[in-house]
């Protein structure tokens, strides 16, 4: 079926006359490869029926257009077309982008009903217009123009629908105009459900909601914008895609919409995770197996509304993990509001969380929203939750149960939709046993418990974290080219890090202050690490390193990395120099045994 769209502009006569001539033709194959039959619709800025004089003039040719009507322009955005014929004058500049990437023809016919004024002259003008349109329609069919246009459109669709990359295009009002077959497969949304719809409404999440990269705010600039996104398919499956967005401009250089090309990275990402090649996730650095399991858990819990309790030692990055959960969720376009519960006395904490009204207490000179109201639709992060008082625990329990509370000094109940993520470095089970923490609140907070490993339990991540932190500090200080000496990395790898990542940050910042050259050496690290050490290295660290490597683990690492010593050192969690020294010792031992 050929889908023909007629754009009539401000007057119905031109479009309905053309539609009458098209419908009067016998149903037949236009050309080889083109389906039998035509679906024709007239679109105009003034919907309605044909002018009575136009009906009379067309009746003289034996064609009845009295039952035809002009549809509103909105119908052109939800109806994919093969060919669009513009009958209005100056159509090329005024006609918008339409669904389906149709072939365009411009006839640019004058509006015969607006000139002249008397009926006889108008009838004559309409007859001339009728004869012209009839000849144009005859040529369109008989001379093969329509067949050529339709075949061109079908071949274009054949190419685009056989691409492995998904294609989605929308205009400046976010109306989706094109959606190829790969886009249907990747998103599981059929084309018929998304064409013509606002992309903020068409998908449950992903492209345009929350992290939606391309549809909110201004369109991308002249350069393509590349992003990696998590989308939710129609069936609810989470998929990772890589998308490239580009502004579409017309012949006059003016933007008309956005074109997005994307492909599915879900399998590649999963394979990379299994092979240990993932080094970061949503701002969290790490490739240790414990961190990869954490990444998976954050990914799984992100789009749930369940409360999350993050536990871990001080300095392990609990707020960073909470922010990652928020960023990966459909709430990412709303606020992430952190509150340090342990830093505020109870009287201030209640006002900070729930707000207050004017006159509620001394100094309350105006109404103030609390953090829960500010985070409505988003996420509240309650850090050091184990430090709140029993009275505050009761008030917080109510918010978790039904999402309601009252501002301090008010009797009006406020209801919010907020996800709660909390964190603590305390053992809450011990706090519950001691009667300092409510058990019912714990179960409300810890629907999904999440534990961050201390840095000493993921030593293989130390070089990766150190390089990342160093790069960030260098950017802040506008320095370049500074690197770690292998001996300094050895010390970092051997230390237990009681202060975790926060302590590592302090060390590196300290070393950069002392280092005036391009290499961070052991002497640039805090003195307590190197005092009393032979050769600038503590004996405790040297003794610990002797037991770090063994022949079996080294052989296994070399086998896994194809004998790549740099990658093997990373896998073992040691510096290259340490691995090289161990291999040299092994070779020397082998030579001695042979002698």
50-78 tens-digit pLDDT: 788 889 999 999 999 998 988 888 888 88
Average pLDDT over residues 167-193: 90
**pLDDT above 50: residue 545:** no
Q: To 5 degrees, how large is the angle CA 180–CA 183–CA 189?
A: 105
pLDDT, tens digit, 9 for 90 and up, residues 118-146: 888 888 888 988 999 999 999 998 888 88
Please report the pLDDT score of residue 432 as a whole number: 94
Amino acid 539: pLDDT: 40
- The per-residue pLDDT for 541 is 43
Q: How far apart are CA 366 and CA 360, in angstroms?
A: 9
Average confidence (pLDDT) over 226-235: 81
Q: What is the pLDDT of residue 532?
A: 33
Task: Give the per-residue pLDDT at 28.
Answer: 61
- The average confidence (pLDDT) of the chain is 83
**Is the pLDDT at 276 greater than 70, yes or no?**
no
pLDDT band at 218 (very low <50, low <70, confident <90, very high): low
DSSP letters of 215-279? SSSSPP-SS-EEEEEEEE-TTS-EEEEEEEEEEEE-TTS-EEEEEEEEEE-HHHHHHHHHTT---
Residues of the chain above pLDDT 90, percent: 30
In this predicted structure, the answer to whether residue 593 has a pLDDT above a threshold of 60 is no
Return the pLDDT at 208. 59
Ramachandran quadrant class, 226 (left: phi over 0; alpha: psi -120 to 50; beta: rest): beta
- Which residue do the tokens 């990055």 mark? 317
pLDDT of residue 238: 77
pLDDT, position 335? 92
Q: Are the beta carbons of 362 and 403 closer than 8 angstroms? A: no
Residue 278 contacts residue 292 (beta carbons within 8 Å): yes
Question: Which segment of 32-46, 167-181, 295-309, 364-378 scores lowest on mean pLDDT?
Answer: 32-46
Measured between alpha carbons, how far is residue 274 from residues 269, 294, 345 in Å?
A: 9, 13, 46
509 has pLDDT over 60? yes
Report residue 277's pLDDT band, with 50, 70 and 90 as the boundaries. Answer: low
CA max distance for the chain: 121
Q: If you average pLDDT over residues 424-446, what whole number do you get?
A: 93
pLDDT of 534 above 50: no
pLDDT at 30 over 70: no
**Structure confidence at residue 89 as a pLDDT band (50, 70, 90):** low
Question: For residues 193 and 173, what is the distance between their CA atoms, to the nearest angstrom?
Answer: 18
Is the pLDDT reported for residue 311 higher than 90? yes
Domains of the chain as residue ranges with CATH: 2-156 (3.40.50.2300), 163-264 (3.30.450.20), 300-453 (3.40.50.300), 457-590 (1.10.8.60)
Q: Which residue has the tokens 């009845």?
A: 64
pLDDT band at 548 (very low <50, low <70, confident <90, very high): low
Q: What are the tens digits of pLDDT across the range 568-587?
A: 887 777 777 778 778 877 77
At 199, the pLDDT band (50, 70, 90 cuts) reads: confident
Q: What is the pLDDT of residues 330-387, one digit of tens each?
A: 788 789 999 999 888 887 898 889 988 887 777 777 888 999 999 999 999 999 999 9
């Amino acid at each position: 079926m050929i889908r023909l769209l007629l754009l009539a502009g401000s007057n119905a006569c031109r479009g309905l006359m053309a539609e009458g001539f098209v419908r009067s033709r016998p149903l037949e194959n236009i050309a080889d490869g083109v389906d039998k039959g035509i679906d024709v619709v007239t679109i105009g800025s003034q919907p309605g029926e044909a002018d009575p004089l136009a009906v009379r003039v067309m009746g003289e040719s034996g064609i009845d257009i009295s039952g035809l009507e002009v549809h509103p322009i909105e119908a052109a955005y939800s109806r994919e077309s093969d060919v669009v014929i513009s009958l209005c004058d100056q159509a090329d500049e005024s006609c918008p982008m339409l669904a389906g990437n149709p072939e365009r023809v411009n006839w640019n016919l004058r509006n015969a009903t607006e000139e002249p004024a008397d009926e006889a002259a108008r009838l004559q003008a309409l007859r001339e217009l009728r004869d012209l349109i009839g000849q144009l329609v005859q040529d369109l069919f008989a001379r093969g123009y329509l067949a050529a246009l339709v075949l061109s459109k079908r071949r274009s669709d054949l190419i685009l629908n056989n691409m492995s990359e998904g294609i989605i295009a929308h205009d400046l009002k976010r109306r989706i105009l094109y959606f190829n077959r790969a886009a249907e497969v990747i998103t599981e949304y059929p084309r018929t459900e998304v064409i013509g719809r606002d992309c903020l409404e068409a998908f449950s999440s992903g492209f345009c909601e929350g992290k939606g990269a391309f549809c909110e705010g201004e369109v991308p600039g002249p350069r393509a914008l590349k992003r990696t996104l998590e989308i939710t398919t129609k069936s609810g499956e989470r998929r990772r895609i890589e998308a490239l967005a580009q502004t579409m401009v017309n012949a006059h250089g003016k933007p008309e919409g956005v074109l997005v090309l994307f492909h599915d990275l879900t399998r590649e990402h999963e394979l990379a995770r299994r092979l240990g090649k993932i080094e970061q996730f949503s701002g969290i650095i790490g490739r240790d197996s414990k961190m990869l399991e954490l990444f998976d858990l954050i990914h799984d819990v992100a789009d749930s509304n369940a409360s999350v309790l993050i536990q871990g030692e001080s300095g392990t990055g609990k707020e960073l993990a909470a922010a990652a959960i928020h960023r990966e969720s459909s709430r990412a376009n709303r606020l992430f509001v952190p509150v340090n519960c342990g830093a505020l006395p109870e009287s201030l904490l209640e006002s900070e969380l729930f707000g207050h009204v004017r006159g509620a207490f001394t100094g309350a000179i105006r109404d103030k929203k609390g953090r829960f109201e500010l985070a409505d639709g988003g996420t509240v992060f309650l850090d050091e939750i184990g430090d709140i008082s029993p009275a505050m625990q009761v008030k917080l329990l109510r918010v978790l149960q039904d999402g309601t509370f009252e501002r301090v000094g008010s009797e009006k109940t406020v209801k919010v939709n907020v996800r709660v993520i909390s964190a603590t470095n305390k053992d809450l089970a011990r706090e519950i046993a001691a009667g300092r923490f409510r058990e019912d609140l714990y179960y409300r907070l810890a629907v999904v418990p999440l534990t961050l490993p201390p840095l000493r339990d993921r030593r293989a991540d130390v070089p990766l974290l150190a390089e990342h932190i160093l790069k960030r500090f260098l950017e802040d200080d506008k320095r370049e080219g500074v690197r770690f000496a292998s001996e300094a990395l050895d010390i970092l790898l051997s230390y237990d890090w009681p202060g975790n990542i926060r302590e590592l940050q302090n060390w590196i910042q300290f070393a950069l202050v002392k280092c005036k050259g391009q290499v961070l050496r052991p002497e640039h690290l805090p003195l307590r690490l190197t005092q009393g050490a032979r050769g600038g290295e503590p004996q405790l660290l040297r003794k610990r390193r002797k037991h770090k490597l063994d022949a079996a683990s080294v052989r296994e690492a070399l086998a896994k990395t194809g004998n790549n010593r740099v990658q093997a050192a990373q896998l073992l969690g040691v510096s290259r120099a340490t691995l090289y020294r161990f291999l040299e010792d092994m070779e020397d031992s082998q030579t001695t045994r042979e002698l």
